[in-house]
Amino acid sequence: MHYALNESSVPAEVVAAVDVNTTANEIYKHNFPSTPLLPKTIEGMTLQDFDKLNFDVILMSPPCQPFTRIGLQGDVADPRTKSFLYILELLPRLSKRPSFILLENVKGFETSAARDALLKTLRECDYSFQEFLISPTSLGIPNSRGSFLFRSVLTQILEGFPMSESSNSLAVPHNHPTSSECEREKTGTIIFKLETEEELERKRIQDSQETVRRLQDFLQEDEEGMDQYLLPPKTLLRYALLMDIVQPSSRRSVCFTKGYGHYVEGTGSVLQSCVDVELEGVFKSLELLSEEDKLKQLSQLKLRYFTPREIASLMGFPADFTFPKHISIKQQYRVLGNSLNVHVVSQLLRLLISK
């Protein structure tokens, strides 16, 4: 959120950043050492604490697990929504209500009871609002990460610039479907790698979208140390048919989640480093081979995980964003998987405050 605010060029001072996750806080403090950071839960702040901050804008991204389509969808019954519901309970009681509110969450929030509670509170507090479903591909970024974004403005701030209440009102063309590999239904005849002709055609269409940049623009040029990101033999043998494989020339990748690098299916794409080998040729008749020959064949592709820095670049983090040295690669993947796309939020911030 802070990087999105910086990129938006909206003149603003961050008066407080609040998060309970120790790792996320260490990374935040490393990159924004002078910003007041409150390592606590939102519920741990009193009404007086909020009033003392005297803020004009709230940028928030409540935990997405209660709303994600592949989760339990506990919605407001999930304890992780407590902080969000607490904000809604406090909003009408603040001595000075914020002029602007921006909320980011996953696709799925738009049909939740939490969203209904948000709308009810905002209407009671005299806010106008708009909702958006956006993927980074709409901005030319080769990564599918469908986000629900919500902007609201205190009606008295609008001063003759009415903002009608509407859903999905931003006319951003989606270049291709954004559902992750683990969520779609399998239909049609399997061609290779457990993929149907329909799925292969969808990927070909995605890779032909010239409005979307190629992955090679986001890859690290220095190949030193890349061997640590190669998929281990056990992973290759067990999950080869389930992985979403992309090449540097591809214009797509699936959403990277916090399980990336630890789990394989549905957590993000893997990169084919050796592009001289034809992918389809490697997978055809693979099941007929012995494990030793199978591994030999798959190893030709030099499949590797995207590095945390590469994922950060795809998510819009600037070149000067870094992790503290003691943060492990696994921790880096986890916080990135729980993050958001900086460019997408930056665009919404400009739109939110421009009027």
Question: Which amino acids are annotated catalytic?
Answer: 64
Helix (H) or strand (E) holding 195: strand 195-196
CA 108 to CA 121: how far, in whole Å?
Answer: 20
* Local structure of residue 315 (DSSP, 8 states): T
CA 83 to CA 81: how far, in whole Å?
Answer: 6
CA 314 to CA 215: how far, in whole Å?
Answer: 8
- The two structure tokens encoding residue 162: 């009415």
CB 57 within 8 A of CB 100: yes
CA 288 to CA 267: how far, in whole Å?
Answer: 28
188: alpha, beta or left? (left if phi > 0; alpha if psi -120 to 50)? left
Helix (H) or strand (E) holding 89: helix 82-90
Which residue from 247, 237, 154 is spatially nearest to 204, judged by alpha carbons?
A: 247
Dihedral pair phi/psi, residue 129, rounded to 5°: -150, 160
**Angle at the Cα of 31 from the Cα atoms of 26 and 35, rounded to 5 degrees:** 85
- The two structure tokens encoding residue 121: 């509170």
At residue 51, what is the residue type? D
